[in-house]
Amino acid sequence: MLASSIERCPSDLWSAPNPPAAVEARPDNPDWNGVERPFWRIAFHAVYFTHLYIGQGEGAFVEPPAALEVRRRPDFEAMWHAPWSLEPYELPPGAEPISRGSLLEYAAFVDGLVDVTLAGLELGSGESGFPWYPGVSKLSHELLNLRHLQGHVGQLSELLMLRGIDIDWV
């Protein structure tokens, strides 16, 4: 579904500001103010955090192969070494958009990790493996990861539906 959203995104929507108009500032959380979330950035965020959280814990995170553009871009470098320090945005403001093909490559890499990684997870563990999720079991954390991914797929799907574009849900 995520790949379908990426594939069907029109070129003019890929980098368009989202929301298209300024949003009222949030004094309660200034980190979230003034950052545009174009389609490509939302899609990248969904892939990236699925990648980060799929493993048993933060020590299991592996950077993508150097052959992928996301791994070679200098403005992406920090994401592969201490990704947990990058919230609320994994990319620097003003980062150049990633190409559709590069994002699809990265999504395919992460998808390729799913079966082998899930087969080795200790889903019965009472800990998520990520200290910023205290008291969350591993199974609950993996379900949270799926919900996060699907929330962003829904968000991207809605942006496409506003343009009369539907995606495959199976």
Confirm if 6 and 100 have CB atoms less than 8 A apart.
yes
Q: Write the pLDDT tens digit of every residue in 97-119.
A: 999 999 999 999 999 999 999 99
- Determine, yes or no, domain membership for 25: no
- Give residue 92's pLDDT: 73
* Residue 94 confidence (pLDDT) above 90: no
Can you tell me the mean pLDDT for 124-143? 95
- Give residue 74's pLDDT: 87
- Give residue 104's pLDDT: 97
* Residue 30 confidence (pLDDT) above 70: no
- Determine, yes or no, domain membership for 15: no
Helix, strand, coil % over all residues of the chain, rounded to 5? 55, 0, 45
The CA distances from residue 52 to 11, 85, 106, 130, in Å, are 28, 12, 13, 10
Cα–Cα distance, 109 to 34 (Å, whole number): 31
- Determine, yes or no, domain membership for 23: no
Q: How confident is the model at residue 146 (pLDDT cuts 50, 70, 90)?
A: very high
Give the domain range for residue 111: 2-9+33-161
The CA distances from residue 45 to 2, 10, 82, 116, in Å, are 11, 19, 15, 22
- Determine, yes or no, domain membership for 170: no
- Determine, yes or no, domain membership for 28: no
- Determine, yes or no, domain membership for 149: yes
- Neighbouring residues of 54: CB distance < 8 A, sequence distance ≥ 6: 110, 113, 114, 117, 118, 142, 145
Quote the number of domains for the chain. 1
- Determine, yes or no, domain membership for 142: yes
- Determine, yes or no, domain membership for 26: no
